[in-house]
Amino acid sequence: MEDYYALLGVNGQASLQDIKRAFRSQAKRLHPDLAGTGGAEEMRKLLAAYEVLSDPERRFAYDRVFFKRAGFDYPRFLREQTEDPKSQAKLIFFELLHFAAEEAIAVWRSQGGVHFAMDRYMDREDWMDCAFLLAEALEERRCYYEAFILMVSLVQAERRKPYFKHFFVDLEGSLKELVRLRLKASVDPETYLACMDRLLGLGFPPKDEARWLRAMAETLARLGRIAPAQRVFHEALNRDPRLSNTARLRRKLGV
């Protein structure tokens, strides 16, 4: 089995950026103007290595076989690095890609769960893929608040710099469905209000924001906080003057 890491001149812990830099460096060395036609075969091998190691799923599949043959248990190595957040972030992604969601969630929670800043320890693309898979796994297990936090962080990241692109519509739809159908019943009122507030700065259409503001006003009213509820409700109407399902709320707030 070809050692793709050796071909690129990196080790098994190399990040995606390390791999990209190594490939560019090696490719320059093998350019026909420098290496002549004699470098064509080496360049072919280099391209094959890069295509595998730059793709997260193909890399993990390769690692599982390569490190096993080399007598190195890669996932076991990562599991033993409990004090190294970078290794734990990689382990979470590894487990998710190998359909071990329970193990991935357990590792993620051991590192702080929603407070674990995985984006500090992973390449941006890997982090976004990992966070998306993790959010899906959490939602499937009815861990709606944790799934919400991850989805919000992904929306914020995508707004800053697109990565999911046309798949982003699916992420937005998943987040809105989670908020509409599941989130409210799974958290206390104060947490729910905080979640709704986080949605308001994410760049969703005014009609979506109006519905979320209406939900906030309803929650505030149930808590007996009438004045704040009135202010929030007016914000909702400013975004969508034709906002539906407001009759009961209007009566309660005297609006």
Residue 65 maps to a domain: no
The total of other beta-carbon atoms located within 10 Å of residue 182's CB is 16
The residue type at 190: E
* Co-location of 156 and 199 in the same domain: no
Q: What is the pLDDT of residue 246?
A: 96
Residue 60 maps to a domain: no
* Co-location of 49 and 79 in the same domain: no
Q: What is the pLDDT of residue 193?
A: 98
**Structural domains of the chain, count:** 3
* Co-location of 10 and 48 in the same domain: yes
Residue 61 maps to a domain: no
CB 11 within 8 A of CB 72: no
Residue 255 maps to a domain: yes
- Specify the CATH number for the domain of residue 15: 1.10.287.110
* Co-location of 107 and 167 in the same domain: yes
* Co-location of 80 and 156 in the same domain: yes
* Co-location of 196 and 178 in the same domain: no
CB 209 within 8 A of CB 239: yes
Residue 32 maps to a domain: yes
* Co-location of 43 and 113 in the same domain: no
In DSSP notation, the chain reads: ---HHHHHT--TT--HHHHHHHHHHHHHHT-HHHHGGGGHHHHHHHHHHHHHHTSHHHHHHHHHHHHHHTT--HHHHHHH-TT-HHHHHHHHHHHHHTT-HHHHHHHHHHTTGGG--GGGTS-HHHHHHHHHHHHHHHHHTT-HHHHHHHHHHHHHHHHHS-SSGGGHHHHHHHHHHHIIIIIHHHS-HHHHHHHHHHHTTS---HHHHHHHHHHHHHHHHHTT-HHHHHHHHHHHHHH-TT-SS-HHHHHHHT-
Q: What is the pLDDT of residue 38?
A: 62
* Co-location of 90 and 124 in the same domain: yes
Q: What is the pLDDT of residue 12?
A: 82
CB 199 within 8 A of CB 209: yes
* Co-location of 124 and 173 in the same domain: yes
Domain end call among 159, 185, 211? 185
Nearby residues of 62 by Cβ (< 8 Å), 6 or more positions away: 4, 52, 53
Residue 64 maps to a domain: no
- Specify the CATH number for the domain of residue 167: 1.25.40
Query: For residue 39, what are the domain limits?
Result: 1-55
Residue 114 maps to a domain: yes
Domain end call among 185, 213, 244? 185
CA 55 – CA 101 distance, rounded (Å) = 20
* Co-location of 177 and 194 in the same domain: no
Domain end call among 149, 169, 185? 185
pLDDT in tens, the chain (255 residues): 789 999 999 888 788 888 999 998 888 877 665 555 666 788 888 899 999 999 888 888 888 788 777 777 778 888 999 999 999 999 999 899 888 999 999 999 999 999 999 999 998 988 999 999 999 999 999 999 999 999 999 999 999 999 998 889 999 999 999 999 999 999 999 999 999 999 998 999 999 999 999 999 999 999 999 999 999 999 999 999 999 999 999 999 998
CA 127 – CA 89 distance, rounded (Å) = 9
Residue 89 maps to a domain: yes
* Co-location of 93 and 24 in the same domain: no
Q: What is the pLDDT of residue 36?
A: 57
The residue type at 27: A
* Co-location of 84 and 51 in the same domain: no
